[in-house]
Amino acid sequence: MTIKTATIQNERVPIQPFDLGPVEDTKVNRSAVERRASTIPTRRTVKKEFQAAWLLQAVQNIDLTTLSGDDTPGTVRRLCAKARYPIRAELLKDLGVEKPITTGAVCVYHSMVATAVDALQGSGIPVAAVSTGFPAGLIPFTQKIAEIEASVKAGASEIDIVISRQHVLTQNWRGLYDEVKAFRETCGDAHMKTILATGELGTLKNVMRASFICMQAGADFIKTSTGKEPTNATLPVSLVMTRAIRTYYEATGYKVGFKPAGGIRTAKQSVDWLILMKEELGEEWMRPNLFRIGASALLNDIERQLEHFAYGRYASMQYQALG
């Protein structure tokens, strides 16, 4: 079984001039979006060895995440070990996979960046740090900038920033652009994922407008959620954001990545989002350089499904290595 891999694209998404045109032109038919999104889990099915291949691809798209108040260096090191070897070697061998695979990244709070960088040394797995007052984004702007700088200095090669939701809710698009642009400039060579916190933006139209502004301001990825809101990644929201990415690519030629996060816990859900990427953006956007899934519990269910394909039975959760 051959699994394709990819790294972050070399050509960065540039910061573009502020342009209200796409915002003013935005139209979203909510009922049509919901109807289209509802067909994704039911219209396509992936079975047997094809399902196994899709699940192995999903593993490589995971930003393996721990963002808990009780995180310790030990739990982060354990997570990093799981990121290095997300599927045990004997199972990969029985699936016919000839080389090890890893997750797309490990995502932690700033205080754990140095620990994660040390634990992942030599693996090629990037460390992503949540920043700018995650999850609410309500700390002073100067502290947000300082937090990005500190995480980059500590070795984070990806920064997941949160936007100030009030900019969207008050339609202050220039304020949102200036904020995200400043974050991008502060990130330097570190890739920036911009979290919209879509569950707090009110409407799908606001989600699409915010997506356009953040891409103009240089977001390498746009991301649905922090995972801390009551409503996180959903297929309707993801459909709107991927179509914004497609429209932006058609207008500029630049490919922005997409990251759903929060609430994606089952292997079936991971396939649903891969199908969305394939249908809306094409196979290139199914690779880790342009698609990530923010998750903590997802990996265990994927491994159970792969064991069922390989051995015809599900292993008890007690036999799954903890992330």
Half-sphere exposure of 73 (CA within 13 A, CB side): 5
Where is 181: in which H helix or E strand? helix 173-187
Q: Which residue is catalytic, options 144, 259, 272, 301?
A: 259
Residue 118 appears among annotated catalytic residues: no
CB 172 within 8 A of CB 206: no
Q: Which of 160, 220, 272, 301 is catalytic?
A: 160
| DSSP line for 153-174 | HHT-SEEEEE--HHHHHTT-HH
CB-CB contact of 61 with 292 (8 Å): yes
Pair of tokens at residue 179: 């904020």
Region for 188 from its dihedrals, namely left if φ exceeds 0, alpha if ψ lies in -120 to 50, beta otherwise: left
DSSP 10: S
Q: Which residue has the tokens 């642009």?
A: 181
87 neighbors 56 (Cβ within 8 angstroms): yes
- Angstrom distance (rounded) from CA 61 to CA 290: 9
Q: Determine whether 228 is an active site residue.
A: no
Helix (H, G, I), strand (E, B) or coil at 39: helix
How many helices (H) and strands (E) in the chain? 13, 8
Active site residue 82: no
Q: Which of 13, 64, 41, 28 is closest to 222 using CA atoms?
A: 13
Nearest to 262 by CA among 2, 20, 63: 63
Geometric angle at alpha carbon 194, from 191 and 195, rounded to 5°: 140
From 223, 255, 272, 301, the catalytic residue: 223
Catalytic residues: 160, 223, 259
